[in-house]
Chain A
Amino acid sequence: MNYIIFSGVPWDEYGYKRMLEVLPEREDIVFTGTMTSLQQEDSGIRALSLAEACTLPAKEYTALVSSPYWLQDVLAFGPAFIIALLERCPEGEDVNLWDKYSGLLAAKADLVGTASERLFLEQLLSRSGVVYLSGDDPLSYGMIRRGERLYFLADFEAVWKKALEELWLPPDTDCPDEPWAEIQLRHRADYYLSMCGKLPQQPTVHYLAASYLYLLGDGRAAELLTKSFELMLLHDYTDCLHSHYRFFSAIGAKRGNLELAVRQYEITAFTAEEKALSAQLQRWLGSGARELVQAELYRVNEDSAAAIRLLAGMESLEAKSLLLLNYMDTFQWEKALRLQQELDSMTAEPSSLMLFQGSGAIASVLLQTPVVEGTLQLLCGKRHAAIRSFLRAAGADQGARALFAEMADLEEAVGRLRGRTADEDV
């Protein structure tokens, strides 16, 4: 397999060197930027400028992208697969811009990897195909031979290898092994369960254990969350109703106990919008629209991935509009635009979409459409079309200045990135 690296930093500071060592069936590896000849010799990786890299046969390469500001170039290159290596916003970068384009990068990626457990959990709640690139387990879970050298794989490295292999060669559906994503969740859950034994008074480890068990669909999640919630109260963390107690409603939804789950959500509903949604959930419960209840409980618990899995196969207008919200939340904006066009053709008046939902969420989505279109056009290199879309958006809320400022910020950030990786003295 061939790989091309789009790094956010020069080679010296590149944080995924070990992950490159354990790439499966590694052939040609290209670093977009500069490296000394010694670095190239030592690593077995060649350096090319962006212009040179763009002449490679893109469909034979998998792109490893560790800065969201490469997204325009990566999309223009058009590799066989995109792997997003997500990081927390570095110092000196605009957090909002970084997070937005990281979200867009993740949504475009075939596989997402991150060494931040917080980002890992956030991404798990947004999509499938997410690998955690860190861990504490000292055991070796496999090996990879490269020439004379034998590399031993930590659990997350073995998962990384398996996930990459499956990009090229999807698993045998006739004889399925346990999916790698599930294996990794189980390892994380086991780790936190063992930590709970060692730190019985620590609410965070119980919460994390509950989170992984929830993602696995393991019934012990509620028990661990209860313990965590109790510990939070004992430690006088009084603001845990939203952060901890609401999570019970997602666990209840996953187990199909929707009446209890809706009551649990109601307890945490303070704002007018939350209260309106709570009333909507009750109405749906009353009318037997249980899947909508379940999907919305997932969404309000930030588990859009579960909501999308549930709603994707549903045909009703309400289900599709909820799906639209989840696509928007998870930066799956192309899908969102396609779905919105479909919804427009289903309803005579766009406003009818807003009426049933009873909250401002859909209305807000409709207003954002030109911004979404403009951003996607910008990513595809259609600068003028993007400007037209932003101007259209400005007509609605007078926000053109902010959008153009963001555009300028992005261009500046991209410029800085190219300078960092390409203009180093060799």
Chain B
Amino acid sequence: MPYDAEADAVSPERLAGRYSYLEREGLLPLPAKDGVTIVVELTHREWAEECLSRLLVHSGPAVRLIGVAMREDFQLQPLLERFSAEAELSFLPYERGNYRINEALADARTSFIVLLEDRVLVTAGWLNELLWPAIDDPATGAMAPRSAAEEQEGREVLRFGNDLELSAYVNHQLSRRRGEWREAGVLSGPCLVVTREMLQRTGGLDFSLRERRFIIADWCLRARQLGTRLAISAASYVHVLQPLAARAPHKNSEAQAAAGLAYCAKWRIPDERLREHGLPVPENLSALERQPAIPLGKTPAALPLVTAVVYFEEKWPAEASIQRQLLLQGQQSYGNIRWISVRDSWTDTTPDFPVHERDTVITVQGEKPWLHALENISGMYQSEVTVYMSASVSYDSEYVARIVKALLHSPAALIVSAAPGLAESELPDNPERGTAVVLPLERTAHRGDILPGRIVKRESSRRSLLLCPGPELAVGYIAGGPVPGAAVPGSTDRPSERKGGTQP
């Protein structure tokens, strides 16, 4: 019997069947040639691992994942260990006052970016369907799957006993409603896909609104003001876990109320509409003044100001000291540092340091004024924390962030970072109170509101310095940074606090 090519060519069922097979077998690439970046908000330690595992398994090879710790008490270390072999997964540790989601979004270089909470569990084929609306209609810039935590059109509350039931439902929906999506007025759920083009135009998320649903809705409304469309995929569903204690009204109720009021004020929505079921949205968005874009990237203003005092023990040539200073500045990841350089130069004239407005170079002549300047810097420049760094020492990029974090979360007045590679268990023993102690200045930081003590030269060393803190000051210790060349640990141990200090 002759082959009827014409009959086959017009069989959409056959094509659909083939497409379905390719997708089911994971043979179809994502419709994004540069891949997809998935930013995962890490909040629930008991769910994060499963969430990340499923994302790695079900999202295809062309994805890059960035896990962002959203809470101070979120332990990244177990995840770092669990996923150490996953090259496409990286993490951003928590930073107080810095909403690092915007930093992660700014780093994303792919055409599509997904923002997703770690309580979302995805299944095979989840991502593909979420990208197509932006390709079907280029005016569509943000898409979401249906889920129990979406509040408007995309809300779908379903009970599943286990992952088999979930997969069966998802596969059925995918086969029945593939390609279906509809426009939405607002999205506020735990999984949002945006195009990079739209993200750049709309800017980052407004974390001043504090509550996530308002933050996401606000971004969507700003995007709509720029003419973009929002879409809910009818074929795509993600399962969302609810925290058991989340409905406790006494917890954060004031903060929640404030977040709601701030959102309503921003979008000129009467406050009483907060009492309605679901998320309130402005009735006539086009009549409202256009909201400004939120800058993507770091938010240095929100970070406590740190004074980093760089001291040059040797008489560095001017050019070399500039290079060294720039290297130190460029390496540190912490986003709000005022750099103070203290140089002793009998012979050099002050070089032209390319400094920012708030940075300072102090050049003295002679060792005594050099030490005197170092001792008094904390009184001269007000900041939350003063960190001393030697120009002769190498620091890892997280050094300032780590020691500042430790100091901000410790009752100690001073924090000493142990030598690189030294673990918490190897930290010096607790000396008796009142014992004369000295600290290695190049690895010491102190609170900005204290006078740290005397600075002296280390014996048998040319100009290496030691800090002799007052006996009333509590000294905390943190483990050392990584040995150069070793893997970077993701989180810093809490400091062990002791009074006094350590023997040299």
Contacts and interface: CB of A to CB of B under 8 A. Distances in A.
Interface in B128-167: 148, 157-164, 166
A180 B46 CA distance: 17
Given A138-B157, A139-B148, A139-B157, A149 B244 contact: no
Nearest to A150: B163
Interface stretch (A154-162, A354-362, A376-384): A154-162
Contacts of A183: 244-245, 248
Interface string A154-195: 110011001000000000000001101001001100100000
Interface in B232-266: 239-245, 247-248, 251
Contacts of A150: 50, 121, 162-163
A130 B164 CA distance: 31
B21 interface: no
Contacts of A18: 161
Given A140-B240, A143-B47, A152 B245 contact: no
A185 B50 CA distance: 29
B244 A158 contact: yes
Which of A138, A150, A158, A162 has the most chain B CB atoms closer than 10 A to its own CB? A150
Contact of B160 (A152, A159, A187): A152
Contacts of B166: 152
A161 to B, nearest CB: 9
Most A CB atoms within 10 A — which of B47, B50, B158, B161? Answer: B161
Contact of A152 (B239, B244, B247, B248): B239
B158 A138 contact: yes
Contacts of B244: 141-142, 155, 158-159, 162, 180, 183
Contact of B239 (A140, A155, A162): A140
Contacts, number: 64
Nearest to A138: B159
Contact of B46 (A139, A142, A149, A187): A142
Contacts of B148: 138-140
Interface in B58-77: none
A142 B159 contact: no
Contacts of B164: 149
Contact of A145 (B50, B241, B245, B248): B50
Q: Could you say which of B166, B241, B242, B245 has the most chain A C-beta atoms within 10 Å of its C-beta?
A: B245
A190 B244 CA distance: 13
Q: Which interface class (under 10, 10 to 19, 20 to 34, 35 or more) fits B? A: 20 to 34
Contacts of A139: 148, 157, 159, 240, 242
Contacts of A180: 244
A152 B162 contact: yes
A151 B243 contact: no
Interface in B19-58: 46-47, 50
B45 to A, nearest CB: 12
Contacts of A177: 245
B250 to A, nearest CB: 9
A177 B159 CA distance: 26
Contact of A143 (B50, B157, B158, B251): B50
A142 B241 contact: yes
Interface residues of A, number: 24
Contacts of A152: 160-163, 166, 239, 241
Contacts of B241: 140-143, 152
Interface in B158-205: 158-164, 166
Contacts of A154: 159
Contacts of A155: 244
A186 B248 contact: yes
B161 A187 contact: no
Interface string A127-149: 00000000000111111010001
Contacts of A142: 46-47, 241, 244
Interface string B343-380: 00000000000000000000000000000000000000
Contacts of B245: 177-178, 183
Nearest to B44: A142
A13 B251 CA distance: 42
B122 to A, nearest CB: 12
B79 to A, nearest CB: 16
Nearest to B240: A140
Contacts of B47: 142-143
Listed residue (B148, B163, B166) with the most chain A CB atoms within 10 angstroms of its CB: B163
Contacts of B161: 18, 151-152
Nearest to A162: B244
Interface in B200-247: 239-245, 247
Contact of A140 (B46, B50, B160, B251): B160
A140 B157 CA distance: 10
A115 to B, nearest CB: 16
Contacts of A159: 244
B38 to A, nearest CB: 20
Nearest to A140: B241
A416 to B, nearest CB: 33
Interface in B368-412: none
B161 to A, nearest CB: 6
B159 A190 contact: no
Contacts of B163: 149-152
Contacts of B240: 139-140
B242 A190 contact: no
B247 A190 contact: yes
A243 to B, nearest CB: 29
A178 B46 CA distance: 17
Counting chain A CB atoms within 10 Å of each CB, which of B157, B160, B242 scores highest?
B242
A36 to B, nearest CB: 23
Nearest to B245: A178
Contacts of A178: 245, 248, 251
B460 to A, nearest CB: 46
Interface string B111-133: 00000000001000000000000
A141 B50 contact: no
Contacts of A158: 244
Contacts of B158: 138
Nearest to A152: B160
Contacts of A162: 244
A186 B247 contact: yes
Nearest to B165: A152
Given A143-B121, A162-B244, 13 more contacts: A139-B148, A139-B159, A141-B244, A143-B50, A149-B162, A149-B164, A151-B161, A152-B162, A158-B244, A178-B248, A178-B251, A180-B244, A183-B244
Nearest 9 pairs of A and B residues by beta carbon: A138-B159, A150-B163, A178-B245, A141-B244, A151-B162, A158-B244, A139-B242, A140-B241, A141-B242
20 contacts: A138-B157, A138-B158, A139-B240, A139-B242, A140-B148, A140-B159, A141-B244, A142-B47, A142-B241, A142-B244, A143-B50, A149-B162, A149-B163, A151-B161, A159-B244, A177-B245, A180-B244, A183-B248, A186-B248, A190-B247
Interface of A: 18, 138-143, 145, 149-152, 154-155, 158-159, 162, 177-178, 180, 183, 186-187, 190
